[in-house]
């Protein structure tokens, strides 16, 4: 479900579909912390610092994650199933189950979501940041008309009149490419792509500044997937939203996003401009993930995408050292003992691997 929330301190008056984002509202960069490679001079819209998430049973699902998203920027989060992508998304809006241990900072517009009172968290959901989940059929309420579902947060959190909320719901539907008249449809009367458009309209209902899209097109066929991705890109650029898009599909992320962070076993192991990370990954895991997807125009990989042997580790029993070392084709003996921090791998890029950076590793020193 898209989270429910109350108003926001940057509340705008009345229905508005193309909010002009006042750049002056973004405050100056704080003195310390944040993503060390962020080149922006403005305060990021989202600034995640040293985020750790451990579930009640001991699964360390997110470990020491730092990342930023600026207004108008599209950050992709890639990784295999179980690497912690959804946990990261849920943590951003404090949607994790009780008993989960979360430490670090999640600064949304400079305000730490982790230390907010619950009333404020509810205010930030919807209007500060909203989530589009995969599988709209499960997220929409089957017994309510989609227009009413879009209007509900507008009524609750924008204090609109019923007529005003209905009008804005219709406008939102048109904005995502559906006729306003479809507001009277029930979810089962819409196709999968139409339902996903409704989910996007709902996510935009209270003019959020950041949209988190968790596998928004996974359940859709390739043609509809392309339409939805184009729609998301268009909305982000029109409204100068920040976008965090989560997917296991590096190719989709490299087409949609500006930057890409690759996660493995709860950590970001590689980060940089999306196209560069996809086409020329520096971390062995990034390389393996990239090789697993076909590239148009590259006959070699198009017809023979390569898989990565083995499975991601159990986050409750992580391997020592670099957690990727048991699956890594170029691991050194030392990788079983020492983990690597993210380090500069090239201009504007970082990777967490012993083979990356100033230390040159001779071929004969490699263990396999």
Ligand X SMILES: Nc1ncnc2c1ncn2[C@@H]1O[C@H](COP(=O)(O)OP(=O)(O)OP(=O)(O)O)[C@@H](O)[C@H]1O
Binding site residues, ligand X, CB under 6 A = 55, 57, 59, 61, 79, 81-87, 97, 248, 315
- At which residue do the structure tokens 């391997």 appear? 319
- CB nearer to ligand X: pick between 59 and 335: 59
Angstrom distances, CA of residue 300 to CA of 21, 135, 289, 345: 45, 33, 16, 26
- CB nearer to ligand X: pick between 34 and 79: 79
Please state the closest distance from residue 250 (CB atom) to ligand X, in A.
Answer: 13
Please state the closest distance from residue 61 (CB atom) to ligand X, in A.
Answer: 4
Please state the closest distance from residue 219 (CB atom) to ligand X, in A.
Answer: 13
DSSP string, 254-286: HHH-SEEEEEETTEEEEEEEHHHHHHS--SHHH
Quick one: tokens of 362?
């001779």
Helix-helix angle 118-127:146-157, to 10 degrees? 130
- CB nearer to ligand X: pick between 168 and 248: 248
Q: Are 135 and 15 in contact (CB under 8 A)?
A: no
Please state the closest distance from residue 60 (CB atom) to ligand X, in A.
Answer: 8
Helix-helix angle 222-239:192-203, to 10 degrees? 20
Angstrom distances, CA of residue 214 to CA of 77, 119, 185, 238: 9, 25, 25, 21
Please state the closest distance from residue 90 (CB atom) to ligand X, in A.
Answer: 8
- CB nearer to ligand X: pick between 109 and 249: 249
Please state the closest distance from residue 215 (CB atom) to ligand X, in A.
Answer: 7
Q: Pseudo-torsion of CA 333, 338, 344, 349, nearest 10°?
A: 80
How far, in Å, CA of 288 to CA of 302, rounded? 15
Q: Are 233 and 256 in contact (CB under 8 A)?
A: yes
Task: Give the single-character DSSP code of 32.
Answer: S
Please state the closest distance from residue 79 (CB atom) to ligand X, in A.
Answer: 6
- CB nearer to ligand X: pick between 62 and 127: 62
- At which residue do the structure tokens 């819409």 appear? 190
Query: Assign residue 25 a region: left if phi > 0, alpha if psi is -120 to 50, beta otherwise?
Result: alpha
- CB nearer to ligand X: pick between 76 and 84: 84
How far, in Å, CA of 148 to CA of 151, rounded? 5
* CA 217 to mean position of chain CA atoms: 13
- CB nearer to ligand X: pick between 207 and 249: 249
- CB nearer to ligand X: pick between 35 and 214: 214
- CB nearer to ligand X: pick between 83 and 154: 83
Please state the closest distance from residue 20 (CB atom) to ligand X, in A.
Answer: 34
Please state the closest distance from residue 77 (CB atom) to ligand X, in A.
Answer: 9
């Amino acid at each position: 479900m898209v989270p429910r929330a109350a108003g926001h301190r940057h509340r705008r008056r009345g229905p508005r579909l193309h909010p002009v984002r006042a750049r002056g509202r973004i405050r100056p960069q704080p003195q310390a912390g944040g993503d060390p490679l962020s080149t922006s001079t403005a305060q990021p819209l989202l600034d995640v610092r040293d985020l750790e998430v451990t579930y009640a049973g001991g699964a360390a699902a997110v470990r020491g994650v730092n990342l930023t998203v600026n207004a108008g920027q599209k950050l992709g989060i890639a990784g295999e199933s179980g690497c912690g992508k959804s946990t990261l998304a849920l943590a951003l809006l404090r949607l994790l189950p009780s008993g989960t241990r979360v430490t670090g900072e999640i600064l949304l517009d400079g305000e730490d979501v982790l230390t907010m009172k619950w009333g404020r968290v509810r205010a930030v959901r919807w209007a500060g940041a909203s989530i589009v989940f995969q599988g709209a059929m499960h997220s929409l309420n089957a017994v309510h008309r989609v227009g009413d579902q879009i209007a509900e947060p507008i009524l609750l959190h924008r204090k609109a009149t019923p007529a005003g909320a209905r009008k804005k719901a219709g406008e939102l539907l048109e904005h995502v490419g559906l006729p306003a008249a479809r507001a009277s449809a029930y979810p089962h009367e819409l196709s999968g792509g139409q339902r996903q458009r409704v989910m996007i309209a709902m996510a935009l209902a209270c003019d959020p500044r950041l949209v988190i899209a968790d596998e928004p097109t996974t359940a859709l066929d390739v043609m509809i997937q392309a339409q939805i991705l184009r729609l998301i890109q268009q909305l982000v650029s029109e409204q100068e939203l920040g976008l965090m898009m989560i997917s296991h599909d590096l190719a989709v992320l490299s087409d949609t996003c500006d930057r890409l962070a690759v996660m493995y076993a709860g950590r970001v192991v590689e980060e940089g401009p999306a196209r560069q990370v996809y086409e020329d990954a520096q971390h062995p895991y990034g390389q393996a993930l990239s090789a697993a997807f076909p590239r148009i125009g590259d006959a070699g990989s198009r017809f023979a995408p390569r898989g990565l042997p083995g499975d991601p580790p159990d986050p409750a029993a992580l391997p020592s050292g670099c957690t990727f070392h048991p699956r890594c084709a170029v691991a050194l003996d030392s990788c079983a003992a020492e983990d690597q921090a993210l380090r500069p791998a090239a201009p504007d890029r970082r990777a967490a691997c012993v083979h990356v950076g100033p230390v040159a590793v001779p071929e004969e020193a490699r263990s396999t």
